[in-house]
Amino acid sequence: MIVKELERLVLEAVETLGGPPIQAVVFERSQYAEHGDYSTNVALALGQLLKRAPREVAESMVSAMRSKVDAKGPIEKIEVAGPGFINFFLSKEYLFGELNEVLKKKEAYAKSFSWKGKRVMVEFTDPNPFKEFHVGHLYSNIVGESLCRLFEAQGARVRRVNYQGDVGLHVAKAIWGMRQHGISMQDLEKKTLSERVRFLGRSYAAGSAAYGEQEEARRDIEALNAKIFARDASVREMYEKGKKWSLEYFETMYKRLGTKFSAYYFESQVGKIGLGIVEEGLKKGIFEKSQGAIVFPGEKYGLHTRVFVNAQGLPTYEAKELGLAPTKYKDFKY
């Protein structure tokens, strides 16, 4: 690979200057064409060690490297910039050659077995039922799927997973909003999936606004939240159908994006596990009780105090995360 070739040139140039051994050279992709394709600041650090001006060190290194660069090779030129940055310019012939290799090999391009035998779990996208799929989820999906494909290209066994908040205040806000609209579940079933999902989004927006503005609505939503977590019969139909519609809609998005998940994890699944971990931690003095809640006293460790179980006895996002980690590892020992 070209970075290995650049590293070899730099390390040999350092050796000619009588500099100390360097374990690794950091290269950055240049943001502007006039700065080349790759850049390194190794001469700036080396200048301090050699007690010489960094630019002078960079010029000496570039002179040594130029003498070893093949005129027909991948490097077109090497320049010094600013206080001592070294910029590398790749030849058009090399770049076009690499593009041809990409077109010819397609998915096989740059594959290796450097990660063979390694197991990697990537959690990404994570849209929440009862809320709409937005640009943040799209960003997460693109990054997560890209990482998965890169790991797979290096021979790793990859497991794609999705963690979704199917319980919590956002669900209670949405169900509160659904009730305010006064539309029966039977009438909603007659609508298209996209119409049902938009209805859930509007319901959540209404519930969220009311929660922040109306004390009575706030109390009702908090009561709903406890009922949802307890799987109370009075909210079961709205909850189960709303969750089902959301998940069906999300699947249409994953299909369009080319992602197929190996597993799905839900807050309702891991919340109880996290709650048990917090209760055990409370006995050991890791957590403390505070105003009816269970908290981690972070100030003792230079951190913020965080609530893990609220005053209603429900696990917060932090407690659910405690349950998520061992659950994922039990399923796939990465």
Q: What pLDDT does residue 35 have? A: 92
Taking only the tens place, the pLDDT of each residue in 273-323 is 999 999 999 999 999 999 999 999 999 899 999 999 999 999 999 999 999
Q: How far apart are CA 291 and CA 319, in angstroms?
A: 17
Contact between 71 and 64 (Cβ < 8 Å): no
DSSP 3-state of 286? coil
Taking only the tens place, the pLDDT of each residue in 172-216 is 999 999 999 989 999 999 999 999 999 999 999 999 999 999 999
Over pLDDT 90: what percentage of the chain?
A: 88
pLDDT-based confidence at 95, cuts 50/70/90? Answer: very high
Taking only the tens place, the pLDDT of each residue in 288-298 is 999 999 999 99
Mean pLDDT for 158-166 is 98
CA angle 222, 224, 229 (to 5 degrees): 100
Q: How far apart are CA 94 and CA 105, in angstroms?
A: 16
Structure token pair of residue 14: 């350092």
Residue 326 in this model has a pLDDT that exceeds 80: yes
Residue 19 in this model has a pLDDT that exceeds 80: no
**What is the dihedral sign for C-alpha 175, 178, 184, 186?**
negative
Q: How far apart are CA 175 and CA 210, in angstroms?
A: 12
- Helices and strands per DSSP (H, E), number in the chain: 12, 10
User: Residue 41: enclosing H or E segment and its boundaries?
Assistant: none
pTM of the model: 0.76
Which domains does the chain possess? 2-94 (3.30.1360.70), 117-261 (3.40.50.620), 267-334 (no CATH)
Strand order in the sheet with 38-40: 28-29, 38-40, 85-90, 75-81
Q: Which residues, 6 or more positions from 190, have their beta carbon under 8 angstroms from its beta carbon?
A: none
Contact between 149 and 189 (Cβ < 8 Å): no
